[in-house]
Amino acid sequence: MRPAFLDSKDFWAGVMFAATGGAAVFMARAYPFGTTLRMGPGYFPIVLGALLVLFGLWFMAKGLRSQKRIEGVWSLRALIVLPLSLVLFGVLVERAGFVPALAVLIFGSAAAGNEFRFGEVAVATAVLTALCVALFIWGLGLPYPLLAGF
């Protein structure tokens, strides 16, 4: 049987805090700690990291007993496709230009939802892209080429 704490909100929050804090302390060891009189660049991060580790341990302990389960449905599709379309925008805007990058972003993010309808999204992409070009490039004068590299 799967132990209950593996579904616990508090347990995983604890893991997250402890891991972040631990990583911070680990990395900050390389920076001079200094003294209380002259705090080095390592002072504040190490104190904060240690604090986060303590918080993390406390939540992990709490999570072993708590009943608070992680709620709701995880949309794995949204979790992957949405950030990916943002990354694609970044890649494309410098290589292919504003319009293709934006079209990919809008179409891509729409595809992250579970009510995806091809025709509707295609129209929405065209309209929104045109709107953004009018507003940002012509209206606000952002200096990006509409198409590049062709």
Partner 1 sequence: MELFNNLIFGLSVAVSLQNLVYCFIGVFVGTLIGVLPGIGPLATIAMLMPLTFSVGPVAALIMLAGIYYGAQYGGSTTAILVNLPGETSAVVTCIDGYQMARQGRAGPALAIAAIGSFFAGTVGTLLIALAGPPLAEVALKFGAPEYFALMLMGLVAAAVLAQGDMAKSLAMVAMGLLLGIVGTDVNSGVPRFSFGINELIDGIGFVVIAVGVFAVGEIIANLGDPAERQVFTSQAINLFPTREDLKASFGPILRGTGIGAFFGVLPGTGPAIASLSSYLVEKKLAADPSRFGRGAIEGVAGPESANNADAQCKFIPMLTLGLPASGVMALMLGALTIHGIQPGPEVMNQRPELFWGLIASMWIGNLMLVVLNLPLVGLWVKMLKVPYRLLFPAIMAFSAIGIYSVNNSAFELYLTAVFGVIGFVWMKLGCSPAPMLLGFVLGPMMEENLRRALLMSRGDPSVFLSRPISLTFLIATVAILTVMAAPAVRRRRGDIAG
Characterize 50-84 residue by residue with b for buried, 16 or more Cβ atoms within 10 angstroms of its Cβ, and e for exposed: eebbebbeebbebbeeeeeeeeeeeeeeeeebbee
* Residues between 14 and 53 with contacts to partner 1, criterion CB under 8 A: 16-17, 20-21, 24, 27-28, 31-32, 35-41, 44-45, 48-49, 51-52
115 binds partner 1 (CB under 8 A): yes
- 13 interacts with partner 1 by CB under 8 A: yes
Q: Is 60 in the site for partner 1 (CB under 8 A)?
A: no
Round to whole Å and give the CA distance between 41 and 25: 12
Provide the token pair at 150. Answer: 């062709």
Residue 118 identity: F
Q: Which of 1, 3, 72, 119 binds partner 1 (CB under 8 A)?
A: 72
Q: Does 90 bind partner 1 (CB under 8 A)?
A: yes
Under DSSP, is residue 39 helix (H, G, I), strand (E, B) or coil? Answer: strand
The single residue among 57, 96, 113, 148 that binds partner 1, judged by CB under 8 A, is: 113
